[in-house]
């Protein structure tokens, strides 16, 4: 949906960080950094209200609290822990694993 609505290349979309999003403005916009574009020129892309809402939902889902269960083999019972990923402005939007700089 993001690629179709913005006309961005896949490599540009996968390089967007949370800090590059401005979902509070009207209309919402995203900054495409020059280092990630074909022409090496920074630009802003405006988002539709539907896309901005989907991005908000995605970020809520990405940083939700997760229940992680594992089995203790020695005592033969299941241990349940809860984990909430830390949200940093430098995190990539469309990346769910790995380190971001």
Of 47, 40, 60, nearest to 20 by C-alpha is: 47
- Separation in Å, CA 75 to CA 70, 79, 81, 101: 12, 10, 17, 40
DSSP structural state of residue 101 = -
Per-residue pLDDT 10s for the chain (101 aa) are 999 999 999 989 999 999 999 999 999 999 999 888 889 999 999 999 999 999 999 999 999 999 999 888 888 889 999 999 999 999 999 886 555 44
CA 1 to chain centre: 14
Report the alpha-carbon angle 78-82-90, nearest 5. Answer: 140
């Amino acid at each position: 949906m993001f690629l179709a609505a913005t006309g961005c290349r896949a490599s540009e979309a996968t390089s967007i960080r949370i800090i590059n999003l401005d979902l509070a403005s009207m209309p919402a916009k995203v900054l495409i950094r020059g280092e990630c574009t074909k022409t090496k020129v920074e630009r802003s892309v405006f988002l539709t209200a539907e896309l901005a809402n989907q991005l908000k939902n995605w970020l809520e889902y990405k940083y939700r609290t997760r229940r992680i269960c594992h089995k203790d083999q020695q005592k033969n019972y299941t241990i349940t822990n809860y984990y909430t990923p830390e949200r940093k402005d430098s995190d990539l939007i469309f990346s769910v694993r790995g380190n971001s700089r």
